[in-house]
Structure 1
């Protein structure tokens, strides 16, 4: 695994001091380093290196009470306010599931982690931040005013890593897997797709046929998929808001998938960003990064699972949205009508 060089921790701190209003991720991009390297420059300067495994971090987060959970990809940031709990460890995947914080965790990508404390005029800002081997953010836990700040010193003691040297060496970033299609396997894809009984079976089907998600969508055709115009993303968000229905909105990277289950009430566009700004849930989406959008239907034992899925120009998944189907709160019929009315790619003039 190759490694990349970086500016010294001293020069990173100096740059950050000169640009205090620039977000950490933007600082890292400007310096040509990973975000983990930008954070690690402050080890022993308000930042502590901590144990990264989720089996250590999630139980610690449960002690903090109300926090903000953040998971992101390049084009989308997903933020939920709530409490951690109901943690289910696993050898390859783990889960935490409470009313507001719903995560699927892939622990092999939880490689570097830090407890970050920054002094401000309003008091200390505290967070637990996890990064993958390349130094890209996997998951962050931000304390809020209502958090149990008295638990912070205990967590630092429990999670402290024996290595507290400043700076961080990171591995080369792995490229996004390009779309993989097998037109010679199309008949098998369509035949077995029609026999699915659970959405989780779909990726196993793709793997068996040596395809991936986007590659399969590109060749499957009706009635399984319909390519939408990229403007359908905004149309979908507005329609969900106006209809007052509940959805499940997934945003995930290699190490963590974060899920919002509920309505969308407030949309605030700003430049290329479309922002959901609701109490307890914020979403920040770069609309100009959306390259492909697909309406997808998969059969399940509970009826068809209909989703809208957006991808970037490299083929990376930005988000997935489904109608919420909880007993007594079944938004799936209304969601299906919304998706059916979204504009197909060929319906929009070039």
Structure 2
């Protein structure tokens, strides 16, 4: 049962949102000084153009439901980048610390401890009703969203809204955890490079870094060439534009603390819109605020299938090869700054 005080607070949030200039939920919430999840929670009451139902957020409960929805659009974002993929959720592998969706189009890495709040949301559009499942972390920031499409099974969505229904009201949101800066210890550079040379799989990199009490960015800064080469911030845009229409398959990773979403395949159409660089395809969209990119690194990791080379995104992994010469040539030509400070 929602208390009168909470109900009044939710009504106040709805009124403030209605009075603000129209915007996407994330931007609208920021304008009125709230987490996005507070805006979603407030619409569990009222009779406005959209409605929400609180549901269980645990991936092991949600993902079997999502797999039954049929074709949907999966969205994962952080503050400056958004990825959207159309497809079917398949191959859910759960776990206490991490889980995976391993479908041919929707490919996710899920970290359950950050899945704190969730709602089933209905929003009236100009011509239709838009339905979604939206998951947020403890601070109320979006972790992952699933949007139903024309062919999705609405009966499964309706059943999930009832079967997974959770306690309502306005949650107490935790303070937002600041992004971790680079962990740098130049004294460990020799050990890091030795361990890097001995890797036989790219996944061993994070194990190596954690054992040394470093992190990804800190390791890049102290390892230096040939392992990590700093590029200009504009190199990401240059890489995307170089890939456009080339038919060269790549992997593009976009994530936050609770979810990483992966696109595998070529990039056909890349277009700038103001500060945004956009990949616009029928079943895959990517939107990156190019002006918010601070550091870019070309990174090479040894594997049993050849060196894996990345610039914010890895070349497609095949069983027989981890190295694509056209991708290596593109990366080699990306702009680098004159100096690489620690």
TM range (shorter): over 0.9
Secondary structure of the equivalent of 1:37? helix
Which one of 191, 202, 206 corresponds to residue 203 of structure 1?
206
What pairs up with 1:221-236 in 2 under 5 angstroms?
A: 221-236=224-239
Deviation at 1:8, TM superposition (A): 2.6
1:113 aligns with 2:124: no
Deviation at 1:327, TM superposition (A): 5.7
Aligned twin of 1:333: 325
RMSD (Å) for aligned C-alpha atoms: 1.9
TM-score scaled by structure 1?
A: 0.90
Corresponding residue of 1:14: 15
Three-state SS of the structure 2 residue aligned to 1:325 is coil
Q: Does 1:55 align with 2:60?
A: yes
The alpha carbon displacement at 1:328 in A equals 8.9
Partner of 1:35: 36
Deviation at 1:164, TM superposition (A): 2.2
Distance 1:328 1:221 in 2: 28
Paired with 1:330 and 1:174, the residues of 2 have a C-alpha distance of: 35
Residue 314 of structure 1 corresponds to which residue in structure 2? Answer: none
Q: Give yes or no for contact 1:181–1:215 (8 Å, CA) kept in 2.
A: yes
Matches of 1:284 and 1:331, distance apart in 2: 26
Consecutive unaligned residues in structure 2, runs of 5 or more: 1-5
> What residue number does 1:102 align with?
107
Name the counterpart of 1:312: none
**Given the alignment of the two structures, is residue 299 of structure 1 paired with residue 298 of structure 2, yes or no?**
no
- Contact 2:309/2:323 (CA < 8 Å) preserved in 1? no
1:151 CA drift (Å): 2.1
Distance in 1 separating the partners of 2:319 and 2:179 = 37
1:344 equivalent in structure 2: 336
Shift of 1:228: 0.5
Provide the C-alpha distance between the structure 2 equivalents of 1:330 and 1:183, rounded to a whole number of angstroms: 29
User: What does the per-residue CA deviation read over 1:116-158, in whole Å, with 9 as the maximum and x for residues that have no partner?
Assistant: 0112232211000000111111000011112112322111122
Conserved? CA contact 2:22–2:28, under 8 Å: no
Partner SS, residue 250 of structure 1 = strand
5 Å matches for 1:154-233?
154-161=159-166, 163-165=167-169, 167-233=170-236
- Tell me which residue corresponds to 2:3: none
> What's the CA shift for 1:332?
2.1
Give the deviation of 1:234 after TM superposition.
Answer: 1.2
Q: Distance in 2 between matches of 1:297 and 1:333?
A: 13
* 1:330 Cα deviation after fit: 7.7
Alignment partner of 1:346: what SS? coil
Q: Report deviation, 1:206.
A: 1.2
Q: Is the contact made by 2:53 and 2:121 (CA closer than 8 Å) also made in structure 1?
A: yes
Aligned partner of residue 268 in structure 1, secondary structure: strand
Determine helix, strand or coil for the equivalent of 2:38: helix
The runs of 4+ residues in structure 1 deviating greater than 3 Å are: 327-331
Count residues in correspondence. 330
- Superposition deviation, residue 197 in structure 1: 1.0
Shift of 1:298: 0.6
